[in-house]
Amino acid sequence: MESSYLSVGYNRELNAVIASWSGYISADEAKSGFERIWETFRYYEANYVIADLRDYEGGFGAITQWLDEEYMPKMIKIGYQACANVMPEDFFMSVSLSDFQNKQSGIVPLRVFADLNAAQTWISQLQTSKNEPTPDALRAVA
């Protein structure tokens, strides 16, 4: 799923939704984008999100309350376990992400990484540490 500001895909190996944001994003666009991530997450029965925020401009400020009170609880309800974020270059987004990370730290693991490979490695390590079989391993047993 793509738009001018967000590309959403799924990585089967990691059982993760990959969301790549770019450009200046209004509050309405951000909210709409998070809803697309939720739909993809639910469709694939994913457990993880990798958010590539390197090209995201702006911040979450206008939707922070919505994220905290509505979006995150419904993500957790359908199996959300962790999020790996690739560090944004935009200063305001970095501050917004740091604030969001502080609020969510006691709820689900949320980490920030310098590059996409490091984010993917962390998600892979989370799966291994929890001894969670990957979707491919589950198919091999069936």
- Give 77-96 pLDDT, tens digit per residue: 999 999 998 986 655 555 55
User: Mean of the per-residue pLDDT values for the chain?
Assistant: 81
- Burial of 101 per CB tally in 10 Å (0-12, 13-18, 19+): middle
Cβ distance 98 to 59 under 8 Å? no
Statement: residue 64 has pLDDT above 70: yes
pLDDT at 101: 56
> Cβ atoms within 10 A of the Cβ of 89, count?
11
Sorting pLDDT into bands at 50, 70 and 90, what band is 131? low
Statement: residue 134 has pLDDT above 80: no
- Token digits of residue 88: 């944004």
Q: Are strands 16-24 and 6-11 parallel, antiparallel or unpaired?
A: antiparallel
User: 3-state DSSP call for residue 59?
Assistant: coil
